[in-house]
Amino acid sequence: MNLSRLKKMEADFLSRYPGGFADPEMVAISKKHKMNAMVELTQEAFQEKYFEQPHIILNNLVKVISRSSMISMFEKPKFKSFINGLSVLEGELLVEGLFSRLHDREQQGFETVLDIMKTGKLAKWSLISICPAYFQPLTEVYVKPTTAKGIIRELELDGLDYKPMPDWHFYKRFRQLVNEMKQEVDPSLSPSNAAFTGFLMMSL
């Protein structure tokens, strides 16, 4: 990790937005993402008790994706059609995978969800990482390809080889490094991990 580069990015950002993400200008910019509302929605939608009824989880999954400002407008209708076209068994497997991803065995859940998404040619980083990023905003990360590639390049993150196809080992290492990096800068730059990677994106 190029710590001096990270500290330079921090200094430049804070010189423009002295309050970090609490700065009035950043608050205005951030409003379109409605992060707090999306976190609240996702944490409510994917409580353990709802996983006993797969149709509720699938409906909630479509709701979260459709309302997310971080998901492309082109992907939202494709995702909804994909979910609506799943067989009962496929839907149950997706729900089981999401439960594991959020509540139990992370890697198994990640890979189960990925396998189901592959059947609809929707195995994309944005769709794979968005729900965990809302569900646990201080620990999980949202992987936006262009941002991830830029962060890896500019901050010289060792041991990371970005590929378009989502991969658990990449995700785990990227998440680890994001959580390490945010400890090196002012807390105002990381009210959530999505905000922190947003700061990095704006600073590249």
Domain boundaries, the chain: 3-30+139-203, 36-124
Q: What is the pLDDT of residue 33?
A: 82
Q: Dump pLDDT digits (tens) for 103-139.
A: 989 999 999 999 999 999 999 999 999 999 999 999 9
Q: What is the pLDDT of residue 48?
A: 93
pLDDT surpasses 90 at 159: no
3-state secondary structure the chain: CCHHHHHHHHHHHHHHCCCHHHCHHHHHHHHHHCHHHHHHHHHHHCCHHHHHCHHHHHHHHHHHHHHCCCCCCCHHHHHHHHHHCCCHHHHHHHHHHHHHHHHCCHHHHHHHHHHHHHHCCCCCHHHHHHHHHHHCCCCCCCCCHHHHHHHHHHCCCCCCCCCCCCCHHHHHHHHHHHHHHHHHCCHHHCCCHHHHHHHHHHHC
Q: What is the pLDDT of residue 31?
A: 82
Report d(CA 157, CA 69) in Å as an integer: 27
